[in-house]
Structure 1
Amino acid sequence: MIRLTLTAAAALALVAVPVFAQTAPPSKPQTANVQPGSEEWLRQRGESYDRAPDSEQDPAEVAATIRLNAEIAARNAAAAEAEANATAAWEEQNFRWREETARLETERAQWEANAAAAKAAQARWERDNAAWEAEMEACRRSGRVCLSSPPTRD
């Protein structure tokens, strides 16, 4: 019993060690309501951004940055348009699929109703035919002339 208790305690300790190793207090307290990308947000993460004054900006670098930003904005707009077009196409296909599925379900339900009606008619004919055959057999046994026609199928 003691060995089982010690084994259970050792197993519990082995399972708990990784959990305790992973629970560490947060390194830096963060202020609530800090806007992502703001100076305070960057500062809390140990980053900073100091923009040089316009007089110190390289005009070629500024022009290249403007051009790159315009290209990124154009690619983003094209991607957004492509996504909107793809979403619209998917929604159209989904609508058609749902219509087709509904039509097929209606046809299946109609087929099942027709099959049930045919099965019921077959059963009715078989009952009527069995009754007619029994009537004919009884008539023949009595020695009379039997002149009735068999049941017809609807």
Structure 2
Amino acid sequence: MIRMTLTAAVALALAAVPVIARSQSAPTPGSEEWLRLRGEQYHRAPDSEQNPAEVAATARLNAEIAARNAAAAEAEAGAMASFEERNAQWRAETARLETERAQWEANVAAANAARAQWERDNAAWEAEMEACRLAGRVCLTPRPPRP
């Protein structure tokens, strides 16, 4: 029983060796090595054995594929250029809006500072008027102008 188990283990190990060897360096699909591993080979027939109709059809198909690939590359380049242009416009618009926001915040801060100053000036004027009235005098100091 042990001998049979050992024999089976050795057989499995030996069967796995080619699989492990193949998986360590996978050939490129379509390459000679790739075809050979699958039992296939590609040998170009000499020109004298080529069918002119098949050669012409293959050349036409290759030209169509090349044209589609060129059109796709051109469309992709156009799409990328359009994206870059719109991205630049978005960045410029964002920068403009940020500048406007910063200006608005500065304007709000200036208005708040002016209002606070007026409130202080007005409070001082009211205190002066009250002191003047309490002293029994006539006060003619004008009220501070509103901001």
**TM-score, scaled relative to structure 1:** 0.74
The residue aligned with 1:39 is: 32
Structure 1 stretch displaced more, 102-111 or 52-61: 52-61
RMSD: 2.4
Counterpart CA distance in 2 for 1:42 and 1:52 is 14
Identity of aligned residues (%): 68
Is residue 73 of structure 1 aligned with residue 43 of structure 2? no
Counterpart CA distance in 2 for 1:142 and 1:87 is 81
The residue aligned with 1:50 is: 42
Is residue 126 of structure 1 aligned with residue 119 of structure 2? yes
The residue aligned with 1:63 is: 56
Deviation readout 1:120-154 (Å, 9 max, x if unpaired): 10111011111111211121122111111111234
Counterpart CA distance in 1 for 2:17 and 2:91 is 53
Q: State the SS of the aligned residue for 2:138.
A: coil
Does the C-alpha gap of structure 1 residues 26 and 100 become closer, same or farther in structure 2, counting only changes over 3 Å? farther
Q: State the SS of the aligned residue for 2:19.
A: coil
Using CA pairs under 8 Å that are at least 6 residues apart, name the structure with larger relative contact order, 1 or 2. 2
Tell me which amino acid in the other structure corresponds to 2:43: R
The residue aligned with 2:91 is: 98
Is residue 142 of structure 1 aligned with residue 124 of structure 2? no
Tell me which amino acid in the other structure corresponds to 2:92: E
Larger radius of gyration: 2
Counterpart CA distance in 2 for 1:27 and 1:131 is 96
Q: How many residues align?
A: 130
Stretches of structure 2 that go unaligned for 5 or more consecutive residues are 1-15
Shift of 1:108: 0.8
The residue aligned with 2:81 is: 88
Deviation readout 1:80-130 (Å, 9 max, x if unpaired): 011111111111111111111111111110111011100110111011111
Q: State the SS of the aligned residue for 1:147.
A: coil
Q: State the SS of the aligned residue for 2:62.
A: helix
Stretches of structure 1 that go unaligned for 5 or more consecutive residues are 1-23
Shift of 1:49: 3.5
Counterpart CA distance in 2 for 1:73 and 1:65 is 12
